[in-house]
Amino acid sequence: MLRSFFTCIFICSSIFAGAQIRLPAIMADNMVLQQNDSATLWGWAQPGEKIRVTTSWNGRLDSAVTTRDAKWRLKVKTPAAGGPYEITLQGRNTIKLQNVLIGEVWVCSGQSNMEWSGNHGLKQIKAELPVCADANIRFFHVPKTTAAYPQDDAEATWTLCDSNTLKSFSAVAYYFAKKLRKDLDVPIGLINTSWGGTPAEVWTPAQDVASQPSLVEAAGKLTPGNYWPYLPGYTYNAMIAPFTQFSIAGAIWYQGESNSGTASTYDPLMRTLIGSWRKAWGREFPFYYVQIAPYNYGKETIKGALLREAQTATLGYPHTGMAVITDLVDDTSNIHPQNKADVGLRLANWALGDHYGKSGIAYKSPMYEKMEQRNGKIIVFFRNADNGLKVNGSKATQFYIAGADRQFWPADVKIVGNTAVVSAKAVKQPEAVRFSFTNTAIGNVFSKEGLPLGPFRTDNWPEK
């Protein structure tokens, strides 16, 4: 009987211990919740257990009952930006989340140029460390993880921005947050989920890649590396899926170098990725990305140019924006440009102007719109250049022009307002113009506001 008694006590204790409220890693002290939203709180507990949640910003009590799958979920209304606040969760145990801020939350993803931090030798970050401390900028750094199926949690911790935490955090994301923090005057939360070398396929749900034969074919051409995954969905499952219940304002993305060998399918791949993320989060959030920088890819002289062209095409997808950074490179043999501050700034200006509706911000680079053939010349028209274009230097460079023989020649260029008049003595009847359409080209034409003209070609001729 004594043995039976202790067995009963052990079983009851085990059941009680298993009934503890548990929370995902992203719901923790120091987190930032999206302001003016209906934020989801969720976790696990004993089936049938009632979970009571009280938020200190309004003292309101909300509750949910744990399902047979040991899951609970509820939504709480968040106010305008502020804090710090507390959230108290009560079931058979009590959890109190402290130092919670309400503000703007952004997902920051991609490959190495998003991942790059002070620990990778960025001089800008080293100079930033003595002045970076800001308790209203919070980091959630997701470790490199893969999974064959979508996960519901990941190991990570919310931290405050200071000289220690910034060293290993995305530099681009930090500068993005710093600008938003200054101009919006609200707390900023960053979910950094990036991995150097990864192709976009691994950040896209596998079933969405599999549904399109062209994407399946392109994925089959990816070259496996020793330091990153390449199978579709593997980082999405482990590094994106766990956070899709967490309310966000939007996403920033810096990736593309690892897809330069399959540029022809990069635009539909990115549309699939963006669409799948929005579907998972249940909202049409803005998605701003960086066009890859000039870099020497070797013998294939327009490999990078074709990828940049595909990235430009993705601007046709709703609520997207692209930061052009062709002018922010001083060494085309380095795939990791040092200047991450201006990259983050340009992404932030996209968010400020496009998403937050701030006026007086130049954030769209001039882009090719159309061309007209006139008297042995080609007139190229550009959008996003209402105040006109300017040339840094004595004459515009990286313009080339060709006739029916498809032989391109260096062009003479005259900038007139928001147009370029392009010609060459060797081309009597021109048919096409290209600008900065090589791997390493760095043009010198800008909007009057100082944003670089996006690389383009007016033709669609296949390469020889």
SS (H, E, C) the chain: CHHHHHHHHHHHHHHHHHCCCECCCCCCCCCEEECCCEEEEEEECCCCCEEEEEECCCCCEEEEECCCCCEEEEEEECCCCEEEEEEEEECCCEEEEEEEEEEEEEEEEECHHHHCCHHHCCHHHHHHHHHCCEEEEEEEECCCCCCCCCCCCCCCCEEEECCCCHHHCCHHHHHHHHHHHHHHCCCEEEEEEECCCCCHHHHCCHHHHHCCHHHHHHHCCCCCCCCCCCCCCHHHHHHHHHHCCCCCCEEEEECCHHHHHHHHHHHHHHHHHHHHHHHHHCCCCCEEEECCCCCCCCCCCCHHHHHHHHHHHHHHCCCEEEECCCCCCCCCCCCCCCCCHHHHHHHHHHHHHHHCCCCCCCCCCCEEEEEEEECCEEEEEEECCCCCEEECCCCCCCEEEECCCCCEEECEEEEECCEEEEEECCECCCCEEEECCCCCCCCCEEECCCCECCCEECCCCCCC
Measure the CA–CA gap between 442 and 330, rounded to whole angstroms.
9
Higher pLDDT, 18 or 259: 259
pLDDT of the residue at 8? 45
CB-facing half-sphere around the CA of 359: CA atoms within 13 A? 0
Could you tell me the maximum CA-CA distance found in the chain, to the nearest angstrom? Answer: 106
Residue 175 tokens read as 């500068």
- Phi/psi at 251 (5° precision): -135, 145
Reply yes or no on whether the pLDDT at 438 is more than 80: yes
Give yes or no for a contact between 202 and 234, defined as CB atoms under 8 angstroms apart. yes
Q: Residue 343 and residue 340: Cα distance in Å, rounded?
A: 5
According to the model, what pLDDT value does residue 224 have?
87
**Residue 266: closest CA among 253, 251, 279:** 253
For tokens 């893969």, name the residue.
146
pLDDT level of residue 94 (50, 70, 90 thresholds): very high
State whether the Cα torsion 142-145-148-154 is positive or negative. negative
Give the burial class of 38: count Cβ atoms within 10 A of its Cβ; 0-12 exposed, 13-18 middle, 19 or more buried.
exposed
Average pLDDT (84-99) is 98
Split at pLDDT 50, 70, 90, the class of 19 is: low
Q: Rounded mean pLDDT of 351-363?
A: 97
Band the pLDDT of 11: cuts 50, 70, 90: very low
Asked whether the predicted pLDDT for residue 13 surpasses 80, the reply is no
Instruction: Kindly tell me if the per-residue pLDDT of 411 is higher than 80.
Output: yes
Q: Mean pLDDT across the stretch 253-266?
A: 97
Q: What is the pLDDT of residues 140-196, one digit of tens each?
A: 999 999 999 999 999 999 999 999 999 999 999 999 999 999 999 999 999 999 999
Q: Confidence band (pLDDT; 50, 70, 90) for 455?
A: very high
Instruction: Return the half-sphere exposure (C-beta side, CA atoms, 13 A cut-off) of residue 274.
Output: 25
Q: What is the pLDDT of residue 3?
A: 53
Number of Cβ atoms within 10 Å of the Cβ of 450: 11
With a cut of 70, say whether residue 424 has pLDDT above it: yes
The fraction of the chain above a pLDDT of 70, given in percent, is 96
Spell out the residues 6+ positions from residue 182 whose beta carbon is closer than 8 angstroms to its own.
Answer: none
In tens, the pLDDT along 31-59 reads 999 999 999 999 999 999 999 999 999 99
- Mean pLDDT is lowest, of 65-69, 90-94, 126-130, 222-226, for 222-226
pLDDT band at 18; cut points 50, 70, 90 = low
Among residues 50, 38, 27, the alpha carbon closest in space to that of 78 is found at: 38
Give the pLDDT confidence score for residue 10 in this predicted structure. Answer: 42
Torsions phi, psi for 21 (to 5 deg)? -60, 130
In which band, very low, low, confident or very high, does the pLDDT at 300 lie, cut at 50, 70 and 90? confident
pLDDT digits (tens, 9 = 90+) for 311-354: 999 999 999 999 999 999 999 999 999 999 999 999 999 999 99
- CB count within 10 Å of CB 372 equals 10
Q: Is 6's pLDDT higher than 80? A: no
**57-79 pLDDT tens trace:** 999 999 999 999 999 999 999 99
* Tens of pLDDT, residues 115-131: 999 999 999 999 999 99
> Are the beta carbons of 179 and 344 closer than 8 angstroms?
yes
Residue 272 has pLDDT above 50, yes or no: yes
Q: What is the dihedral of CA 195, 108, 445, 302, to 10 degrees?
A: 30
At residue 47, the pLDDT reads: 97
End-to-end CA separation in angstroms for the chain: 88
CA 403 to chain centroid: 39
What pLDDT does residue 394 have? 94
- Pairwise CA distance, residues 352 & 376, whole Å: 43
Q: What is the pLDDT of residue 325?
A: 98
**Is residue 7 over pLDDT 50?**
no
Instruction: Tell me what percent of the residues of the chain surpass a pLDDT of 90.
Output: 94
**Which has the minimum average pLDDT: 18-32, 371-385, 388-402, 440-454?**
18-32
> Which one, of 44, 87, 96, 94, lies nearest residue 65 by Cα?
44
Residue 187, preceding peptide bond in cis (omega within 30° of 0): no
Predicted local confidence at residue 67, as pLDDT: 98
> 129: which strand partners?
none
The Cα–Cα gap between 354 and 165 comes to 30
Whether 9 shows a pLDDT value over 50: the answer reads: no
